[in-house]
Structure formats: structure tokens, C-alpha cells
């Protein structure tokens, strides 16, 4: 049988072309921008004076200033923009309104960046990258809102405004911050930059002209035009899909697998909620008095040596104290230790549910 | 802002060196390593500089 000739003329054209334009991995400098990871819980009621810097969903913290009387309830929500792929948002609700903010009073949502994560932005050089911020936002109060970048290493700021056009409706917002040719970020694990979403700002933050180009931080220019969202009880707002990327255009939100997203969050905070009274955390025989130590690893290398905390009670035998101590001996691990009182079997286990956390937040 | 610690206690290791501070704050106990990059450790240093006293019970 004679072989047929194969017509290759249109073969390449028949293969679907991959769409690679938006396919740069880890282009989003924000971790957990889809608000999906919430290791500290999903409800954060009663935020007011003294709660500045309290973390909410992972990597995002409540920000307040002044001696204010507002009370804000924050929570992880399932209210999301339809058809965009998001499962969660972060919600703020005004539980108690404050109609007379201090001059330097305010309510905001804050995100802090580690300096070594920002080096590729080439800040402080002639090749400094612009940054484009995109996010989905829904608020019961229309009007002007402010998003701000703060260079903590060099005390420099840039602010951009955006408008909520329709109340209680999801809208996608995009603003671009020009690159800054002044002031480099420290190349270390410290806090170098903040992103702040202002929701209310006192007159002291608004008495100047909005600083829409990078410059030395001037308080009066930081949030000019910001509406007073916290002045009306039951005002609410939602935010998700927060993405900050190099360049002047916003790409589609970069969804990461949940395990990857969690591991990225765990560099800054780790919560072990699997403590149960069925597991001995230490069980040994001591031939003398002295320390007994158990070394444990964090799931990922943390930013710094973390602060360790626990809730719940422990049961122990042959130890000087009922509860062990926990100390992060490095960024990779921590030790649980106690002191034995005699030569005997020595053990420790959690007496019921509890939580052990490691906090290395900025 | 000065943190309102209920107590701050030195924690010694098996070589009798201070290896951490034990803080009680809002009824929660935490162990803070001596790491200047740790914001809780920074807060303790500020708290001490304001004249507050650290509990020190070295092992015998």
C-alpha cells in the first residue's frame, strides 16, 4: 500500500495558542489578597482605640489613630463579586459611629511589606518600577477614598484617590503609583513599606493637597478628600482581590493554590490548632532533675524568631510547673521545655483544645 | 505607644542564660525571644526604658 502524504500546512495554526500575557508567577506583591486565609479566626468585633495593628485575615491589619469613639466590627465574609473566582472578602462594619474625629483620627486597613521582598522594584534608582494596585471594593458610602503607599525606610509617601460610584455594589478599582527614584528599601526582613486603604481621616490628614507623587511624608497631604465612612452606624464595606504589581497596568488577579497561599502567610504567622489531649507532646524518663526539651519545626521558615503563645491548659507529670515554655530558637523551629523534679517518667500533654501560635508579623 | 504588659519575666535556659521574656498581656502568656527584629521584643525594651520592672528569678 502506498504511503499517503501528510499535509502539514495548517498544523501549527490548528494548535490553540496559550494566553501568556497574564501568566507571570508571583507578580502580586500582596500575600492573601483574596482574603482566604484566616488563621486567627474569622470574626474580629469591637475594634476601637488600642486595636491599632491588630491582625485580621492573614497579612492585613486594622489601623486606627486618635482618641476615637468608633467601634468597628471586622470579619472574613463570603460576600464577593460575582463571577470573579473569589470565595472571601474582608468586611468592616460600623458598630458605633464617631461623627467628630480627632484632627489626627482615622480608620484604615493596612498591609506591611518586608524590605527584601521589594528589591526588584529598584526603588531609589532611575529604573524604579511603577506599581499598580487593583482590588474589588463595595461600600455603603459613595464618594472619594484614598489608597496610600508609605516608604517607612525613608519617610516618603504617595497617595491616590478612587471613587465609589454606586452604594453597596462591587466595583473594581485600579490606581497606579509612579516609581520613586529617591530612597532605596532596606534589603532585610524589616518593615519597609505600608499599603493603607483609608476609610475615614481627620482634618489633620486632609488640610493640604493630596500628595499624588512620591515625596517626604506630609501629614496634611495624606488623605485629602477621604469620605468619613465611620461617621454613620451600620455603614459597611468589603474588599477583596487586592493585587499590587510592578508596571502601569493591572493584570488579572493571581489566584494561588490554597496550600501555597497558606505557606506564604505562615512565614509571618503560624497557628497550630490541632492540640488535643490524645497526644503527648513530650514523654520521657529522667534520671535526674533538670530540663527536658523537645524540638519542633515550623512548617515554613519564619521571617524572624517568632513570639510563641498558647491558649488552653496542659497536664504534666514530674515537672516544676504545670505548663511548659515555648521558645523559638531560630526561624526554623522552637523548643518546648520544662524542668523535671525527680527521677521518674516525665510527660506533658495539652489538656483539651487549645492553640499554639508563632507570631513573626511586621 | 507603650504596651500594657501585666508582667514581664526573664526565662532562663539550661545553662542559666536568659533566653527569652515571658509576657502576660490581656491574660495571654507569650514567650518572646531576644531578637531585635521581633516587634514584641522591641516593645519590651521600650516598656523597660519607661521604668517598668522585669521579674527575675534565676534558677538555683
Q: List residues of chain B with CB under 8 Å from any CB of chain A.
A: 1, 11, 13-14, 19-20, 22, 28-33, 35, 37-41, 59
Rounded to the nearest angstrom, the minimum Cα separation between B46 and chain A is 17
Grid coordinates standing for B29? 502568656
pLDDT tens, residue by residue, B9-49 = 999 988 889 999 999 998 889 999 999 999 999 999 999 99
Provide the residue count of chain A. Answer: 362
Contacts of A336 (CB under 8 A, 6+ apart): A281, A282, A293, A294, A296, A324, A325, A326, A348
Q: In which band, very low, low, confident or very high, does the pLDDT at A50 lie, cut at 50, 70 and 90? A: confident
Task: Give the strands of the sheet with A282-286, arranged side by side.
Answer: A282-286, A344-350, A314-317
Q: In which band, very low, low, confident or very high, does the pLDDT at A6 lie, cut at 50, 70 and 90? A: low
Show residues of chain B in contact with A327, CB under 8 Å: 11, 19-20, 31, 33
Give the bridge partners for A175, in sequence order.
A133
Show residues of chain A in contact with B32, CB under 8 Å: 307
Show residues of chain A in contact with B43, CB under 8 Å: none
Mutate to test the interface with B, among A309, A319, A341, A359 (most CBs of B within 10 A): A309
pLDDT tens, residue by residue, A144-168 = 999 999 999 999 999 999 999 999 9
The pLDDT assigned to A19 comes to 43
Q: What ipTM describes this predicted complex?
A: 0.95
Beta carbons of B35 and A189 less than 8 Å apart:
no
Share of chain A above pLDDT 70, in %: 92
pLDDT tens, residue by residue, A95-136 = 999 999 999 999 999 999 999 999 999 999 999 999 999 999
Contacts of A30 (CB under 8 A, 6+ apart): A59, A111, A195, A242, A243, A244
Rounded to the nearest angstrom, the minimum Cα separation between B2 and chain A is 11
Show residues of chain A in contact with B20, CB under 8 Å: 325, 327
Cα dihedral A259, A263, A266, A270 in deg (nearest 10) = 50
The answer on pLDDT for A309 being more than 80 is yes
The pLDDT assigned to A23 comes to 57
Beta carbons of A307 and B28 less than 8 Å apart:
no
How far is residue A283's CA from residue A135's CA, in Å, rounded to a whole number? Answer: 50
Is the distance from CB of A119 to CB of A175 less than 8 angstroms? no
The answer on pLDDT for A1 being more than 50 is no
For residue A292, the chain B residue with the least C-alpha distance is B14
For the four alpha carbons of A160, A165, A169 and A173, in that order, the dihedral sign comes to negative
Give the bridge partners for A90, in sequence order.
A76, A239
CA-CA distances (angstroms) from residue A269 to A28, A88, A172, A362?
19, 19, 29, 10
Give the bridge partners for B18, in sequence order.
B12
Q: What is the mean pLDDT of chain A?
A: 91
DSSP-based three-state secondary structure for A125:
coil
Q: What angle do CA A36, A309, A282 make, to 5 degrees?
A: 110
Amino acid at each position: 500500500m502506498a504511503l499517503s502524504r501528510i499535509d502539514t500546512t495548517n498544523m501549527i495554526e490548528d494548535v490553540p495558542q496559550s494566553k501568556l500575557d497574564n501568566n507571570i508567577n508571583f507578580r502580586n506583591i500582596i500575600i492573601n489578597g483574596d482574603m482566604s486565609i484566616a488563621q486567627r479566626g474569622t470574626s474580629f468585633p469591637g475594634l476601637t482605640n488600642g486595636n491599632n495593628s491588630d491582625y485580621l485575615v492573614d497579612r492585613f491589619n486594622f489601623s486606627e489613630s486618635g482618641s476615637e469613639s468608633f467601634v468597628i466590627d471586622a470579619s472574613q465574609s463570603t460576600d464577593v463579586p460575582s463571577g470573579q473566582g473569589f470565595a472571601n472578602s474582608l468586611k468592616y462594619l460600623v458598630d458605633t459611629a464617631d461623627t467628630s474625629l480627632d484632627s489626627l483620627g482615622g480608620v484604615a486597613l493596612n498591609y506591611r511589606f518586608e524590605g527584601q521582598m521589594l528589591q526588584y522594584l529598584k526603588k531609589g534608582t532611575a529604573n524604579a518600577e511603577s506599581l499598580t494596585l487593583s482590588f474589588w471594593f463595595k461600600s455603603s458610602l459613595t464618594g472619594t477614598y484614598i489608597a496610600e503607599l508609605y516608604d517607612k525606610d525613608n519617610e516618603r509617601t504617595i497617595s491616590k484617590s478612587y471613587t465609589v460610584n454606586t452604594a453597596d455594589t462591587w466595583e473594581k478599582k485600579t490606581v497606579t503609583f509612579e516609581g520613586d527614584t529617591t530612597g532605596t528599601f532596606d534589603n532585610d526582613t524589616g518593615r519597609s513599606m505600608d499599603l493603607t486603604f483609608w476609610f475615614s481621616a481627620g482634618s489633620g490628614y486632609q488640610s493640604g493637597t493630596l500628595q499624588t507623587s512620591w515625596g517626604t511624608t506630609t501629614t496634611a497631604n495624606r488623605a485629602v478628600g477621604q469620605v468619613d465612612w465611620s461617621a454613620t452606624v451600620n455603614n459597611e464595606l468589603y474588599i477583596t482581590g487586592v493585587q499590587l504589581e510592578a508596571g502601569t497596568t493591572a493584570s488579572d488577579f493571581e489566584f494561588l493554590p490554597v496550600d501555597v497561599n497558606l505557606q506564604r502567610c505562615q512565614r509571618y504567622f503560624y497557628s497550630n490548632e490541632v492540640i488535643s489531649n490524645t497526644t503527648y507532646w513530650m514523654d520521657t524518663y529522667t534520671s535526674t532533675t533538670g530540663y527536658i526539651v523537645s524540638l519542633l519545626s515550623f512548617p515554613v521558615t519564619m521571617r524572624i524568631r517568632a513570639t510563641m503563645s498558647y491558649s488552653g491548659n496542659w497536664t504534666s507529670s514530674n515537672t516544676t510547673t504545670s505548663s511548659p515554655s515555648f521558645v523559638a530558637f531560630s526561624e526554623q523551629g522552637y523548643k518546648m521545655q520544662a524542668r523535671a523534679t525527680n527521677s521518674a517518667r516525665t510527660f506533658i500533654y495539652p489538656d483539651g483544645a487549645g492553640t499554639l501560635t508563632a507570631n513573626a508579623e511586621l | 505607644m507603650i504596651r500594657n504588659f501585666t508582667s514581664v519575666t526573664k526565662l532562663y535556659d539550661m545553662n542559666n542564660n536568659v533566653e527569652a521574656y515571658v509576657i502576660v498581656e490581656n491574660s495571654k502568656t507569650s514567650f518572646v525571644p531576644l531578637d531585635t527584629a521581633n516587634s514584641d521584643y522591641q516593645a519590651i525594651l521600650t516598656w523597660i526604658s519607661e521604668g517598668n520592672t522585669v521579674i527575675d528569678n534565676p534558677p538555683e
